[in-house]
Structure 1
Amino acid sequence: MAVSRSQLQALYRRRAKRYDVTANLYYLIGFREHRVRRKAVNGLRLKPGDTVVEIGCGTGLNFALLHNQVGQDGRIIGVDMTPAMLAQARERAARHGWSNIDLVTCDAAEFEFPEVDGILSTFALTLVPEFDEVIRRGASRLSPGGRWAIADFRMPSGRTARLAPLLLPPTKPFGVSLDLAERHPWESLHRHLGNLEIESIYCGFVYVAVATKEN
C-alpha cells in the first residue's frame, strides 16, 4: 500500500541528514543512480541562462548537473515538501557558492509553475498521487522546445516482473511500494506534451523519459 503524504514527509524528515549516504547504498546492488540522474539531466538539453524546475529536489543531488548546464546566469528552482531535505539542499548550494538556486517548500501537487525551459524529476514523481495534474500544469508553462525529463522506477513487462519483490527491500525505505507500479508518469508526459523518448534500463525496472513541447 502506498504511503500517505504525511507518512512520506515524516520518512524523509528522518532520513534527511543521512539521505545522500543511504542513497549511495544502491551501488551495493549494482544500481548506478548517478548515471541515471545524469542521463535525465542531459535529456533536458539546457543552455546557459535557462531556467529549470526540479520537482522533488530533495537534498540537491542533481544541482551540480543542472548548474553545469544553466551556468551562473541560469536559474534552478528546487521544489520539495520536506523542510529538512531542503535544509540539506540549502547547505549544498551554500557550500558550492551557487547563488542562483531558489528553494520552495511545497507539495508538488500545489506548486505553481513559472515559465521555464526545463522540468526535471528523478525518483520522486511516482510518489505523488496527483502526478498527472502536476505534469499537465508543468507542461503548460514550458517554453516552446522545452523539455520535461523523468527518471524513476517502474514495473517491467514479462517474466522479469517476477523479480520485483526481491528488489523491494532496498527501495522500501524511500517510500516505494509495489502498488506504485499502477502509476505511469511517462504516459502523462506523452499525453500532455507528445514527442516522447523513453529508455528502459536495469532490465526495465528503471526508465528515463523525456518529452518535448512543440514550437
Structure 2
Amino acid sequence: MSIGHDDGVLSADAVRRLYDRLAAVYDLVVAPYRVVGGYRLVDGAIPLLRLAPGDTVVDLGTGTGHALPALAAAVGSSGRVVAVDISSRMLGRARARCARESLTNVEFIQADIADFTLPDGTTAALSAFAMEMLPHYDTVIERLIEELPTGGRLAITGLRDPEGWPEWLVRIGSWLNRPFGVTDAYRSHRPWEAVDTHTVEADYTDVLGGAVYRSTGTAP
C-alpha cells in the first residue's frame, strides 16, 4: 500500500487514512487556528463566489463542513451545495454539522478532488486547505476552470511557505502542521499562481504574516 510519493507528498490513500483518523478530533485540533484568524479568509471567500439563490456550488475538500452553512445560505433552498472529501469520516462529521443546522440543500460525495468532475450546472467552487495537498494542483485547477461556465468563480485558501520568515520559524510552523500531513515537500506548492494563470479577475491576499492565503478568480 502506497503511503506517499517519492517526493514526500502524501498519496491520495495516505491522505484518506490520515483524515479518517483525525476526523473525530479535527475541529478540536484546529480550534487554535480559528482563534488566531486562520479561517477568516475561508469565511471571506464565500461572498467572493458571487453566489445567487438557485446556484450550484461545490466545496472541494469540505472536511468537517466548516463552510457548508454559509454556502447553503448563499444559494438558498432552491440551490445546491455539493460537499466533496476523500475521507468518509470527515464527511460523516460534515453530515452531522448539516443535520444539527437542519440544512436540506447539501449533498455529500466521497471522492479524490484530484480527479473529481464538477457536476453539470456548477456555478462556483471553493477549496479550503486542500488544494496545496495535491501533487498536480496546477492541472486540477486548470481543469476546474475549464469545467466552470464563463463567469464562474473559484476560490481557494490554504497554507503556504511564508516569505521573509526566518528558517527556524518556518520549520516550527511546519512541525505544528505535521499532524495534518504537511511536510517540507509542500513548501514549493503555489496553487495561487495556477489560479492567476488560468483565470481572469484573479485576486490574492494573505494573513498571519503570509502563512495563510486566499486566491480567487473567474473562468474566462
Q: Equivalent residue for 2:87?
A: 82
- Residue 21 of structure 2: aligned partner: 14
TM-score relative to the length of structure 2: 0.89
Does the CA contact (< 8 Å) of 1:155 and 1:161 recur in 2?
Answer: no
Greater share of helix residues, 1 or 2? 1
- Deviation of 1:144 (Å): 2.2
Give matches, 1:1-215, under 5 Å: 1-27=8-34, 31-114=36-119, 115-160=121-166, 163-214=169-220
What amino acid is the match of 2:70? L
2:69–2:103 CA contact under 8 A, matched in 1: no
Q: Deviations over 1:17-63 (max 9, x none)?
A: 22111111325xx6323312112222212112111111100111111
Distance 1:40 1:160 in 2: 29
Structure 1 stretch displaced more, 3-12 or 120-129? 3-12
* Contact kept in structure 2, 1:39 and 1:208, CA below 8 Å: no
CA distance in 2, matches of 1:111, 1:174: 22
Amino acid at match of 2:193: E
Question: Identity over aligned residues, as a percent?
Answer: 34
| TM-score, length of structure 1 as denominator length | 0.91
Structure 1 gaps of 5+ residues are none
- Counterpart for residue 5 of structure 2: none
Q: Deviations over 1:108-143 (max 9, x none)?
A: 122111231111011111111122222122111212
Distance between the aligned counterparts of 1:163 and 1:195, measured in 2?
33
**RMSD of aligned C-alpha atoms?**
1.7
Q: How many Å separate the matches in 2 of 1:99 and 1:17?
A: 23
Aligned residue identity for 2:16? Q
Instruction: Look up the equivalent residue of 2:205 and give its one-letter code.
Output: E
The answer to whether the 8 Å contact 1:80/1:86 transfers is yes
Distance in 1 (CA, whole Å) between partners of 2:74 and 2:18 is 31
SS in 2 for 1:25: helix
State the shift of 1:160 in Å.
5.0
Give the aligned length.
Answer: 212
Deviation, structure 1 residue 151: 0.7
Deviations 1:53-74 (A, max 9, x none): 1110011111112122111211
Structure 2 unpaired stretches of 5+: 1-7
